[in-house]
Amino acid sequence: MSATIDRKARTSPRVLILGGGTVGLYAARRLRKRLGRREAAIVVVDPRPYMTYAPFLPETAAGSIDPRNVVAPHRRSLKGVDVLQGKVMRIEHAARRVQIAPEEGEPYWVSYDFLVVGLGSVARTLPIPGLVEQGIGFKNVEEAIAVRNHVLGRIDAAASTWDPQIRRRMLTFVFVGGGFAGVEAIAEVEDIAGYTVKKYRQVEPDELRFVLVEGSTRILPEVSAELGGYTLDQLRTRSIEIHLATFLTSCVDGHVVLSDGTEMDAETLVWTAGVKANPVLKDSDLPLDERGRVITNATLEVTAADGTVVADAFAAGDCAAVPDLVNPGQTCPPNAQHALRQGKHLGENLARVLRSAPPTPYAHRNIGAVASLGMYQGVAQMFGRFKVRGFPAWVLHRTYHVFAMPTWNRKIRIMAGWTWSLLLRREVIALGSLQDPRAEFLAAAVGGPSPDAPPAAAPSGAGPASNGSDERTAPSRTAASGTAPSAAVAGSGTGARA
């Protein structure tokens, strides 16, 4: 049974903002800046207690930015705003109420006077055999941390593995999707992986295999063909395999099969092949387009298919079909630049409506596009004409995005982290146990072997042991080429990584 919070006589209208991402956070901040608490009560609903700045996820995966610094905590960033942590289950705008499911407890309904929909998008997956079991997305900070830990963990494990086939599988990393997210992700992760293996005697840099799969005939469609071609050449110079006009057809049990006939075994598959509007919108009475996005007009007000304005409802960001006034006949693309500006504009418009003033249309001409390709490398296109490459583009990327990050607290922390990384270098530690922190405790509880216990005695007929430890030969840098490994180490049984 769901609890119900009835609409009560309120002295000020309640604005319910669904989603605490870029649109929700900036809309709430702007609305609170324009209106006092007696003029509007603002409530933000999101399952996470923070907003993630998505353009910095690749650098988070590369260890260039502390994961805590790419998120803006709601309760610190939203002064004078009520925050509800829960998942939106159903929207009934006709009744002016939304059903919310908290992390624990029964779902409940929250009433409102004005609705803002900023639920964003989710990964757009396809019915590819093995994708659900093997793939990982790259849309939130948890996934970026998991990709980093997994890649560094595979390098750790490969350094202590002498089976060539297993090593190849461990050191093969496949990224699907050649847009900004996929290109920046593979470039940054390849950069940190190459930096990491320099510290390993047992792994050669050329053992790393990075593969990018893109269904269209080019990468980075957001920039000019010239810059896209430059990026393609730069990635290939770094020995990243790129398969254009190619699709992933299967990845069952880690055996990756591409439409061009290429096959490989990989323990890492990162999916960045597009997004779709949050599917919860289908459980609403709001008008949607054929792609499941909320239909809006240029003032960010929700409208019916015939253009009739739906009273008291606004939407923006990836989950909204907002007309692009700069490019007539098109809708604004789902990117952070539009989401940030639409969030601010929505807050301004709603404040105007609450003060009986007419809303204004949203129009924004992109000033350019910037992308990081790893440390000191990047591409940028400014004002549609000026093309920048290499180190200057990398500086532009960092400068633009650090100032777009909400709150000076986060701006300063990120810049301080960059400074320390330049002086002390990046950390290359894999904290894989973060994904399953209770594993060691559970093993101890059921009587399993402790990570600190010595290994079991070798069975009869096994090779010689010393002090109860199984002595084996560790793989050297020449092991993968088939020559005999040279370094011998005694297994300590501590479970610690190099």
DSSP 441-496: HHHHHTTPPPTTSPPPPPPTTPPPEETTEEEEEPP-TTGGGTSPP--EEE------
CA distance 62 to 65: 8
Residues 235 and 149 in one domain: yes
Residues 262 and 140 in one domain: yes
Residues 269 and 285 in one domain: no
Amino acid at 116: V
CA distance 161 to 168: 10
Residues 267 and 171 in one domain: yes
Residues 392 and 250 in one domain: yes
CA distance 473 to 491: 10
Strand partners, 295: 321
CA distance 151 to 290: 38
Task: Give the tokens for residue 270.
Answer: 């990162």
Q: What is the pLDDT of residue 432?
A: 65
Task: Give the tokens for residue 72.
Answer: 């803006």
In a domain, 252, yes or no: yes
CA distance 145 to 60: 7
Task: Give the tokens for residue 156.
Answer: 């750790």
Residues 243 and 147 in one domain: yes
Kindly report the CATH number assigned to the domain that includes residue 9.
Answer: 3.50.50.60
Residues 264 and 392 in one domain: yes
Q: What is the pLDDT of residue 335?
A: 86
Q: What is the pLDDT of residue 479?
A: 41
Residues 263 and 390 in one domain: yes
Range of the domain at 191: 131-273+368-404
Residues 259 and 284 in one domain: no
Angle between helix axes 180-197 and 225-237 (nearest 10 degrees) is: 20
Q: What is the pLDDT of residue 274?
A: 84
Q: What is the pLDDT of residue 260?
A: 95
Angle, CA of 158, 256 and 187, to the nearest 5°? 65
Residue 446: count of CB within 10 angstroms of its CB: 7
Q: Contact at 8 Å (CB) between 255 and 265?
A: yes
In a domain, 349, yes or no: yes
CA distance 189 to 63: 9
In a domain, 465, yes or no: yes
Exposure string for 119-142, b = 16+ CB within 10 A, e = fewer: bbbbbeeeebebbeebbbbbbbbe
In a domain, 422, yes or no: no
Specify the 3-state DSSP secondary structure of 427.
coil
Q: How many residues does the chain have?
A: 498
In a domain, 137, yes or no: yes
Residue 357: count of CB within 10 angstroms of its CB: 10
Question: What's the CA dihedral at 244, 247, 250, 253 to 10 degrees?
Answer: 40
Residues 390 and 263 in one domain: yes
Residues 164 and 258 in one domain: yes
In a domain, 154, yes or no: yes
Distance of CA 95 to the CA centre of its chain: 35
Q: What is the pLDDT of residue 5?
A: 53
3-state secondary structure the chain: CCEECCCCCCCCCEEEEECCCHHHHHHHHHHHHHCCCCCCEEEEEECCCEEECHHHHHHHHCCCCCHHHHEEEHHHHCCCCEEEEEEEEEEEHHHCEEEEEECCCCCEEEECCEEEECCCEEECCCCCCCHHHHEECCCCHHHHHHHHHHHHHHHHHHHCCCCHHHHHHHCEEEEECCCHHHHHHHHHHHHHHHHHHCCCCCCCHHHCEEEEECCCCCCCCCCCHHHHHHHHHHHHHCCCEEECCCCEEECHHHEEEECCCCEEECCEEEECCCEEECHHHHHECCCECCCCCEEECCCCEEECCCCCEEEEEEECHHHEECECCCCCCCECCCCHHHHHHHHHHHHHHHHHHHCCCCCCCCCCCCCEEEEECCCCCEEEEECCCEEEEHHHHHHHHHHHHHHHCCCHHHHHHHHHHHHHHHHHCCCCCCCHHHHCCCHHHHHHHCCCCCCCCCCCCCCCCCCCEECCEEEEECCCCCHHHCCCCCCEEECCCCCCCC
Of 222, 242, 188, the closest CA to residue 58 belongs to 188
In a domain, 420, yes or no: no
Give all strands (DSSP E) within 41-120, no chain letters: 41-46, 50-52, 71-73, 82-92, 97-102, 108-111, 114-117
Residues 210 and 153 in one domain: yes
Q: How confident is the chain (498 residues) per 10-residue block, as mean pLDDT?
A: 55 94 96 94 96 94 92 94 96 97 95 96 92 93 93 93 94 95 95 92 93 94 86 94 96 96 96 92 95 96 95 96 92 90 96 96 85 91 83 92 91 92 79 72 72 46 40 43 39 36
Name residues whose C-beta falls within 8 Å of residue 251's C-beta, 6 or more positions apart in sequence.
Answer: 128, 129, 130, 131, 134, 135, 174, 257, 266, 269
Task: Give the tokens for residue 380.
Answer: 């940028």
CA distance 252 to 115: 43
Kindly report the CATH number assigned to the domain that includes residue 193.
Answer: 3.50.50.100
Q: What is the pLDDT of residue 85?
A: 96
Number of domains in the chain: 3
Task: Give the tokens for residue 493.
Answer: 């049984």
Query: Which of 354, 382, 413 is the last residue before a domain boundary?
Result: 354
In a domain, 436, yes or no: no
How is residue 323 annotated by DSSP?
B
